[in-house]
Chains A and B, each alone.
Chain A
Amino acid sequence: MKRLALDVYNTLFEFVRTFGAFQLFFLRLVKHSPAIVFTRFDLVVKQVYNAGALSLVIIMVCGLFVGGVLGLQGYSNLARFNAEDSIGVFAAFGLTKELGPVITALLFAGRAGTSLASEIGLMKATDQLSAMEMMAVNPVRRVLVPRFLGGVIAMPLLAAVFSAVGLFGTHLVAVELLNVDVGAFWQQMQNTVDIEDINEGILKSVVFGVAASHIAVWEGYNAIPTAEGVGRATTRTVVITAIAVLVFDFMITAMMI
C-alpha cells in the first residue's frame, strides 16, 4: 500500500516536472525566435518548405475527399428537409471552423511532426547536436527554433489549403454529381459565412500549429539517443499532438460560441 502511494506520488511528481520543463522549453523557443526571424530567415524558409510544401500533396488529397464526403453526407441529410441548396453553407462552416484546422493538424503531426521528431532525435543520437555545441553554436537556436517556426508558419497555410480544396471537393460532389444549383451553393455560402467564422478557423490552426511544432521539437530534442528511443519519440509526437489538438479544439470552440 505504501509502495503504491509512493509510486503514484512519483509518477505525479515526474509528470508535473516534465510538464514544467515542457513549458520552459517553449519560452526558450520563443526567446530565440526574433533573432532567427530577423537574422537567419533563410533557415525558417527551408523549414517551411520541409514542413509545409512537402505536406501539400497529402493535405490536398485528404481535403478533396473530406470535402467530397461532406457533400454526400450533407446532401443526403439536407435533402430530407428540402434544404440541399444550403449544402455550401454546411460544408463551409464544417471545413473552415472544424475539419480544416483539426484534420490538417492531425495530418501535419503524422507527416511533418514525425519527421521533425525523428530528424532531431537522430541528430542527437549521432552527436550532431553535441558537435554544434562544441562549435559554439547553440543547437536550440540553430536547429530547433527554425523547425518550430517553420511548423508554426506552415500549419495555418496548410489548413487554408485544406479548406479551400475541401470546398472544391464539395462543389464537385454536390454541384457536378448531385445537381445542386451552383448559384445557390456559392451565394448562400457568401451570405452566411462571416469573417468571424474564418477567424475562428485561423485562430485554431495557429494554436494547433504552435502545439504540434512545439511537441514535435520537444520530443525529438528529449528523445533517448538510441534507435528505440527515437522510435518512441516519433510515436509519442503523434499521440500527444492528437490529444492536444482535440483538447485545444474543444476549449477554443467553447470560448468562441
Chain B
Amino acid sequence: MTNKPLDETSENLIEIRDLKYSRGPRPIFEGLDLIIKRGEVTALMGPSGTGKTTLLRLITRQLIPQQGVICVNGVDISTLNIRKLYELRQRFGMLFQNGALLTDISVFENVAFPLREHTKLTNRLIRHVVLTKLHAVGLRGAADMMPAQLSGGMARRVALARAMVMDPEILIYDEPFVGLDPISMGVIVRLVRRMNDALGITSIIVSHDVAEVSTVADRSFLISQGKVAASGSPDELRTAKSELVRQFMHGMADGPVAFHFQAPGYEEQLLGRDSE
C-alpha cells in the first residue's frame, strides 16, 4: 500500500519502492527498495558509480524515475506540482559535494540567501539568524569573506550553515567527507551528529568512507548493482557474511566488485589479436 498517505508522525520519513531508473541504455537502479526512518542518521554507501548521488537527486525530484514510487512523509513526490514540490524542498536542506556556494556573493549573503528568497524577515533578524548558524559551524568570523577565499572544509561548513538556515526536517549530505583533512573531517562528523540530535532532524549521508560513516550512522544501506545489497547498523554490516559487503567494508581490491573494468583478454590485446 504505497499510496496510502501516512501521518506526519509515522516512523518512515522516506519510502522508496521498486525504483527503476536508467540513464541512456545503462540501468542504474533495478527495483530498489529503501526506507529511511525519522530522526535517524541514515547512510547510503556503495562503490563509486552505483548511483548514490543519483538516488539523492531522485529523492529530491531533481530527476524523475522511470518506474517506482518515492514517498516523502507519505506523499508520492511524483504527483506534486511545482509549487508543492518547492514547498516540500523548503523542508529539505542539502549539502553538495563541493559546497555549491554562490560565488558572486559573500559567505554571509550565501547563508542569508534562502531567508531573503522565502521570508520577509527584517534585515536585523536575518543578520541574527545567519550569525547564529555561522556560529554553530564555527565560521562567524568568516561572514564577510567571499566563497573563493575559503578552504574546502570551510566552504563545506558554510554550505552546511546555509542548508540549516531554514531549519529543515531532512538534511542531505552528498559525500561530506571527500577531500577533507582529518581535522575538518572530524569537525564535519561531529557537526552531522550534533545537528541530528540537537535539532531532531533526519539526516541522509551519501558516502563511501566506511570508517567515518560507521561513527555517525544509525543505519546504513549498501547499494550495489541497482539494488540494496545489505542494510543494518554499521556493526551488523561489518560482521555480515556476504562477499560483497565484506569486500566493501574492509576495502579489499578484488572480489564481487572486480578490480578490472570490463575488457578483452589481456594477452589477446597486447598481442594485437583483438583488432584482427
Contacts and interface: CB of A to CB of B under 8 A. Distances in A.
Contact of A130 (B62, B92, B93, B101): B62
16 contacts: A123-B102, A126-B98, A127-B98, A130-B62, A130-B100, A134-B60, A134-B92, A134-B94, A135-B89, A135-B90, A135-B117, A135-B166, A136-B86, A136-B114, A137-B114, A137-B118
Interface string A110-148: 000000000000010011101111111110001000000
Contacts of B100: 126-128, 130-131
Contacts of B166: 135
Interface string B57-96: 0001010000000000000000000000011011011101
B106 interface: no
Top 5 A-B pairs ranked by shortest CB distance? A131-B100, A127-B100, A136-B86, A136-B89, A134-B94
Contacts of A123: 102-103
Nearest to A119: B104
B97 A134 contact: no
Interface of A: 123, 126-128, 130-138, 142
Given A131-B100, A137-B113, 17 more contacts: A123-B102, A126-B103, A127-B96, A127-B97, A128-B103, A130-B100, A133-B89, A134-B94, A135-B89, A135-B162, A135-B166, A136-B86, A136-B89, A136-B90, A136-B114, A137-B117, A137-B118
Contacts of A134: 60, 62, 89, 92-94
B97 to A, nearest CB: 7
Nearest to A127: B100
Contacts of A127: 96-98, 100
B114 A135 contact: yes
Contacts of B89: 133-136
A137 B166 CA distance: 13
A134 to B, nearest CB: 4
A137 B118 CA distance: 8
Contact of B96 (A130, A136, A137, A142): A130
A134 B103 CA distance: 17
A35 to B, nearest CB: 13
Nearest to B92: A134
Contacts of B60: 134
Contacts of B118: 136-137
A212 B253 CA distance: 53
A144 to B, nearest CB: 14
Contacts of B62: 130, 133-134
Contact of B117 (A128, A130, A131, A142): A142
A142 B113 CA distance: 11
Interface in B147-199: 159, 162, 166
Interface string B115-144: 001100000000000000000000000000
A132 B117 CA distance: 10
A176 to B, nearest CB: 44
A131 B103 contact: no
A132 to B, nearest CB: 8
A131 B92 CA distance: 11
A126 B103 CA distance: 10
B140 to A, nearest CB: 21
Contacts of A138: 86
